[in-house]
Amino acid sequence: MWQWRQSQSNEWQNYSDIETAIIEDVYNRHGNCVELEDNVVVDLKQGLQMNNANKKKNEKAVEIRRLSTDCDDAETFRNRRQRNDRFCSAPQMEQNTNANSSLGAANWNGSQCPNLESLSYGDIMRQALEGIRQEGREIGLEKQAQWIVDHFMPVTKESFENICRACLRLYTMEGKGEKGDL
C-alpha cells in the first residue's frame, strides 16, 4: 500500500487502488520514478511526489511511503470505508438456455447488441477493456486506463472462472483521479 501526505502535520492519504498498483509495479521492477496523471511524478528513491507542471511555482514536494500489509498502519487501510455506493442487491440471474451464450448479455440492459451473444467472454472483456482505454483518454486518466488494459488484457485468453475473477477485481478497484472516477 502506498500513501502520501502534504506535511508532517497532515494525515497520510491513500493512493487509489490503481495508482498503488502502478507504483507497486515500478517498485517491484526496482524502478526509480513513475509518472501518474496530471504530471505527478513519484520518486521512489527519494520518497517524494512532485508535480512537474508546478516546478516553476516552487511547490513543496509531497512525502510518500510504502506500507507492508502486515504493519499496524495497514490495518487502517484494510478497515477503510466500505464503498457501499458501488454495491447493490444481487441481481436476479436469467436462466441460461444456451451453455455457450453470455446469459442474455445482449439484452441485460435493454440494449440491442445482436452480435454480443456470438462473442466469447474473452472477446467481450477485450471490447470492454478497449472501451476503458478510450474513456480514460477522454477524461484525462489515460495512464490509469492503460494500466488496466495492460494488466487485464492477458486474462481475456483464460478460463471463464478467471475472467469472472478479473472482472470482479476490476469492478471493486478504486481508480480516482482529480478529473473524476475511472
Please name each of the domains of the chain with its CATH number: 2-78 (3.30.720), 102-174 (no CATH)
CA gap 132, 143 in Å, rounded: 11
- Which residues is 43 bridged to in the sheet? 33, 48
Task: At 180, list the grid cell.
Answer: 473524476
Q: Are 144 and 170 in contact (CB under 8 A)?
A: no
In the DSSP assignment, the letter for residue 45 is T
Look at residue 152 in the predicted model and tell me its pLDDT.
Answer: 97
Look at residue 114 in the predicted model and tell me its pLDDT.
Answer: 61
User: H or E stretch including 137?
Assistant: helix 121-139
The pTM assigned to this predicted structure is 0.68
Positions in the chain short of pLDDT 70:
54-58, 69-114, 116, 176-182
Q: Residues 33-47, buried b or exposed e (16+ Cβ, 10 A)?
A: ebebbeebebebeee
Look at residue 142 in the predicted model and tell me its pLDDT.
Answer: 94
Look at residue 110 in the predicted model and tell me its pLDDT.
Answer: 54
Look at residue 121 in the predicted model and tell me its pLDDT.
Answer: 92
